[in-house]
Amino acid sequence: MRPGAFLVNTARGGLVDDETLALALKQGRIRAAALDVHENEPYNVFQGALKDAPNLICTPHAAFFSDASATELREMAATEIRRAIVGNIPDVLRNCVNKEYFLRTPAVAAAAAAAAVYSEGLNGGYYATSGLQQAHSTTHDAPHSAAGSALIVPPPPSVVNPSPVPTVPSVHIPPQVGLQHGLVSSKSVGIDTYVLLLLLFVLLLLIYVVVVVVSVSIV
């Protein structure tokens, strides 16, 4: 690189020699440097040849962070889950880490089971129809496609019959004695009330007489 150049590395850490870069920064042959990837990650900026290098910025493999990339990662995860559900395991998945487990089941039986449950055009095509898209990584090799696929079809849910509603026994309340035959009427109730009031009046009158007699005797 010509003297006074700026070095930016967002590809692979092994492309830049740390000791040579540190010497070039100290001598001024490299004006400044920005490193997002390193040979060993996570990278400790307080150790190694670059710890005393001037005009250096190191970021933790985060140069791709943005609102668009965060949305893309979420969509990619949802797409991978859908492709796994429809039986495209593991040959068309980008980041399948346990392909050996899925390859234990015969691919033909798994593909037939997937075709019986899900249609091939469900929510769009597969990688197989649009070309295999490899994941982009600056520190790891691209995943290798493997032949065969498998699908573990979950058993159909069992039908749960609703519990019978318990029946509440009917309670028979017998009619009050007298009401059934019409022996008690509103007229009889009114007479009883009149008699009760008369007795109460007589009682109050007797109390008044007793009080008067006692008062006279005292005087």
Question: Distance of alpha carbon 63 from its chain centroid, rounded?
Answer: 29
User: String of b and e for 52-81 (b: at least 16 CB within 10 Å)?
Assistant: ebeebebeebebeeeeeeeeeeeeeeebbe
Question: Distance of alpha carbon 67 from its chain centroid, rounded?
Answer: 21
The predicted pLDDT at position 171 comes to: 60
The predicted pLDDT at position 167 comes to: 66
134: its two tokens: 């490899």
The predicted pLDDT at position 32 comes to: 96
The predicted pLDDT at position 217 comes to: 78
The predicted pLDDT at position 111 comes to: 54
Task: Catalogue the active-site residues.
Answer: 12, 41, 61
Pairing of strands 56-58, 30-35: parallel
Query: Contact 149/110 with Cβ under 8 angstroms?
Result: yes
Task: Identify which of 31, 8, 5 has the alpha carbon closest to the alpha carbon of residue 138.
Answer: 8
The predicted pLDDT at position 33 comes to: 96
The predicted pLDDT at position 154 comes to: 58
The predicted pLDDT at position 64 comes to: 85
Q: Is the peptide bond before 162 cis (omega within 30 degrees of 0)?
A: no
The predicted pLDDT at position 120 comes to: 46
106: its two tokens: 């015969």
Low-confidence ranges of the chain (pLDDT < 70): 88, 90-91, 105-191, 219
Query: Contact 23/54 with Cβ under 8 angstroms?
Result: no
Task: Identify which of 43, 45, 44, 34 has the alpha carbon closest to the alpha carbon of residue 11.
Answer: 34
